[in-house]
Amino acid sequence: MEQIITVQGVVKRFGRGVRALDGLSLDIPAGIIYGLLGPNGAGKTTLIRILATLLSADEGVVRVAGLDVRRQAEAVRARIGLAGQYAAVDGHLTGRENIEMVGRLYGLSRRQARARTSVVLDRIGVGEAAHRQVRTYSGGMRRRVDLAASLVGRPQVLFLDEPTTGVDPASRREVWDLIRDLVDGGTTVVLTTQYLDEADQLAGLIGVINHGRLVSEGTPEQLKSHTGPAVLELSIPDSQQDAAMRALGQIAPAAYERHRGTLVLPAADGVATLQHALRALDAAAITPTDVGLHRPTLDDVFLALTRTDSIDGYLNDPAGATL
Ligand SMILES: Nc1ncnc2c1ncn2[C@@H]1O[C@H](COP(=O)(O)OP(=O)(O)O)[C@@H](O)[C@H]1O
Ligand SMILES: [Mg+2]
């Protein structure tokens, strides 16, 4: 598959102590949605800013659309669009004026900018509000205008930095639909998110980053296979922890402890796993103080990817089993 983005050994330091990117490498194929998944502070925005030529890396090589972001920054800028974590729109201009202005910055003539603005406005569904000042918009509407502005130059590659953070659930779905449409139209989208479900919904390939490094990469299915479709959490009294781990180990070797007192296991069969677990505990005369079955979160994925305290390790060294 053709790679539209290559990142090799990128290091970015801030000040003395912080290595926001710590030797990051990844390849992104053309024509997909690539999800960069990671917690706050992982380095997602730093990477997006480097890809979008707003920041330069201290070390490493970055190519976008076959161009070197450092030496051919101008040419890269002509091929990309960026919508940020904080919608960068001017509140005193109308929605339409904001988008036209960005079109002009992309080098479109006044007439072209007007025409393209109409096209993207149609697409994002701001409607009559396009003629109102942006400061009167809701957060979700601002996001959409920001997204529309990033599309006006017909980018080959679109970077979206947490496009739905702080957006209400209904607008979130609309933004998702819009992103899917774009990719159907041939754009490659790189989006960052802190939400596993968002990456799962949208991305063809997900890179998990933490502390400025790629921790894991794969399809949503591959990523979720680490946790299973659901996760079971059991609160167990302290004195019965070890016995509980042993009892659960028979049905789920990958059980682990999240906090003192909370045991977590992948629930491959959902409610059936829950029933098995309760029966196994009951046979060992253990009664959980709380039980929950939930869809895997980013936390669960991280724990599943990084845990060293699966049941095997736990049985060998129960005291060292807390993450
Ligand atoms: N301009 C900056 N000056 C100093 N530290 C920064 C700056 N930008 C980001 N950082 C630090 O770099 C790390 C990665 O930040 P960022 O890329 O914003 O993460 P994310 O977008 O994944 O939340 C964090 O520790 C953050 O505090
Ligand atoms: Mg960020």
Q: pTM of whole model > 0.95?
A: no
Of the pLDDT bands very low, low, confident and very high (cuts 50, 70, 90), residue 314 is very low
Of 188, 218, 248, the domain-final residue: 218
> 223 lies in a domain?
no
Average pLDDT rounded to a whole number, residues 185-211: 93
Compute the distance between CA of residue 112 and CA of residue 118 in angstroms, rounded to an integer: 10
Percentage of residues in the chain having pLDDT higher than 70: 93
**Together in a domain, 68 and 191:** yes
From ligand 2's centre to the CA of 194, what distance in Å? 9
Query: Is 40's C-beta closer than 6 angstroms to any atom of ligand 1?
Result: yes
**Together in a domain, 212 and 275:** no
Range of the domain at 200: 3-218
Give the mean pLDDT of the chain: 87
* CATH code of the domain containing 208: 3.40.50.300
Average pLDDT rounded to a whole number, residues 288-312: 74
Is the pLDDT assigned to residue 16 strictly greater than 90?
Answer: no
**Together in a domain, 211 and 262:** no
**Together in a domain, 200 and 242:** no
Compute the distance between CA of residue 24 and CA of residue 60 in angstroms, rounded to an integer: 8
Is the pLDDT assigned to residue 318 strictly greater than 50?
Answer: no
Is the pLDDT assigned to residue 14 strictly greater than 80?
Answer: yes
**Together in a domain, 57 and 197:** yes
pLDDT at 309: 43
pLDDT at 2: 85
**Together in a domain, 192 and 314:** no
> 55 lies in a domain?
yes
pLDDT at 87: 59
* Phi, psi values for residue 103, rounded to 5°: -60, -40
**Together in a domain, 42 and 155:** yes
From ligand 1's centre to the CA of 23, what distance in Å? 15
From ligand 2's centre to the CA of 291, what distance in Å? 34
> 264 lies in a domain?
yes
pLDDT at 160: 94
Q: Are 218 and 47 in contact (CB under 8 A)?
A: no
* CATH code of the domain containing 314: 3.30.70
> What are the tens digits of pLDDT across the range 199-247?
999 999 999 999 999 999 999 888 877 777 788 999 999 899 889 988 9
Of 193, 218, 243, the domain-final residue: 218
**Together in a domain, 112 and 161:** yes
